[in-house]
Amino acid sequence: MVNLPLFIILPFGVAFFIPMVSRKFKWVPDVLGNITTFILLLLSLMTLNQEHVYHIGGWRAPFGIVLVLDGLSCLLLVIINLISFMSSLFSIEYLEKRYTSKLRYYSLFLLMVGGMNGTVLSGDLFNLFVFMEIASIASYALVGFGCEARELEASFKYLVMGNVGSLFVLYAVALLYGKTGTLNMADVARILKDIPYDNLIAFSFVLIISGFMIKSALVPFHAWLPDAHPSAPAPISAMLSGVVIKALGVYVVIRLIFNLFGFNHIISNILVYMGITSMIIGVCLAILQWDLKRLLAYHSISQMGYVFCGIGLGTTLGILGGIFHLFNHSLFKSLLFLDSGSIEYETETRDLNKMGLLYKKMPITSFSTLVASMSISGIPPFNGFWSKFIIILASIKAGRPIVALWAVIGSILTLSSFTKVCRYSIYGKGEKFDKEKWEKLKEVPDFMSIPLIILSILCIFTGLLLIGLENGIFGPVIDVLKGGVLEYINKVLGD
């Protein structure tokens, strides 16, 4: 049995410890940071298929604070800690060249990881808010880590938008506390179930969901994302796009809708239509971009649309598709951002026009970019194909062929924009291609190419996780969401 507070204490403790020791020893931040994320990865793999409610300080559920581990949190824990291990491995060499203060970097990085682990495990509304703020503040600081003009501007924008979202959430938590007199999520759900639905509940629902949707960057709320994600250092972009928008945004929205407020027909429509809008608008804006990282950032908006579409359908197959796409997106999007980081590391540019013919000089980076591009555009047998296929199949089965049509169109547009990436950077060359610079290029150092290789292998083979469909590895997650409010109450408050 894994001790749940370890997921929170370990990263916070090490984040505190790193600045104290590493003024004397330069190698300490690298070693400590990577060992911590590796241990967290092992711990999160040990939690698979377990269910547990941990009472902090031994106080029973409605009075004390609880940490809840169920199928959904297990999956998110594995995603968070896998991607954070890959990113911290990538950071060892990447930070040497452009950035200076490694101890602050690893300290903030671990604060962010710990905050996200806490968000995913928390069973209490106010603690959810606090952990979310810890992770958000660390990520605001990491976006502006380079301290160049553009990075500072992006960080400022991200902070103002993110803070509006957080305050909405806090206001909604206050309203819900005033209505129900409790902060425990299961207890709030139990009380809301029995009292008649009124305007106050509807208002707090809208506030809290829009607060978290700002964090998950669905289309009306997406303005900060294309500035913030490209400005961060590449491993942080991988964390932001791969994990932060999921753990702080999508996960909390799903958890609140399915396990606290209850899922119904109207919410299903809202989720599906918002999903379709961000799917199409995100990808249309992405095609126009010439900055590689900005293009990838717009694709994050579009792919989150697929996740919301799948889950919004509310059928077993739809939820399976949405959850599986969430998992796959974290793999291939973080791989793409790490690739863009290693391209930037060697060529020192992000402009697609200035790149070209990378496959001759950087075989590993080009190969992994190709794998991830095919994965995100949904070409069989890569993992992105299976999840998109299931979402499309589910929407046809649910009697909504329009959703399927838009999903196919979005997928074709994605394919075309990644054809552009591969054409200009890897196999062809851009208009401002610089031959002299190209002669000097070489493959990135080992510590940067290892995460690329691991993530590419995962991208190729995770399609196999689908074996058994809803009875397979994603079964517990679907049970949590299909079980709805009642099962969650029983799990947390029962016994």
Distances from the Cα of 129 to the Cαs of 49, 61, 132, 172, in angstroms?
A: 26, 18, 5, 11
Q: Are 246 and 76 in contact (CB under 8 A)?
A: yes
Quick one: 34 or 182, whose CB is closer to another protein?
182
C-alpha 103/C-alpha 97 separation (Å) is 15
* Smallest distance, another protein to C-beta of residue 480, A: 28
Quick one: 278 or 289, whose CB is closer to another protein?
289
| Residue 124 phi, psi dihedral angles, 5° rounding | -140, 130
Quick one: 39 or 152, whose CB is closer to another protein?
152
* Smallest distance, another protein to C-beta of residue 163, A: 6
Burial 281-317 (b: 16+ CB within 10 A, else e): bbbebbeebebbbbbbbbbbbbbbbbbbbbbbbbbbb
Burial 347-381 (b: 16+ CB within 10 A, else e): bebbebebbbbbbebbebbbbbbbbbbbbbbbeee
* Smallest distance, another protein to C-beta of residue 15, A: 15
* Smallest distance, another protein to C-beta of residue 494, A: 24
Helix H or strand E segment including 67: strand 66-69
* Smallest distance, another protein to C-beta of residue 377, A: 22
Quick one: 52 or 179, whose CB is closer to another protein?
179
* Smallest distance, another protein to C-beta of residue 158, A: 10
Interaction site with another protein (CB under 8 A): 126, 130, 133, 137, 140-141, 144, 147-150, 152-157, 159-160, 163-164, 167, 170-171, 174, 177-178, 183, 226-227, 231, 288-289, 291, 294
Quick one: 174 or 465, whose CB is closer to another protein?
174
Q: SS3 string of 425-494?
A: HHHCECCCCCHHHHHCCCCCCHHHHHHHHHHHHHHHHHHHHHCCHHHCCCHHHHHHHHHHHHHHHHHHHC
* Smallest distance, another protein to C-beta of residue 111, A: 12
Quick one: 202 or 408, whose CB is closer to another protein?
202
* Tokens at 19, concatenated: 């600045």
Quick one: 226 or 341, whose CB is closer to another protein?
226
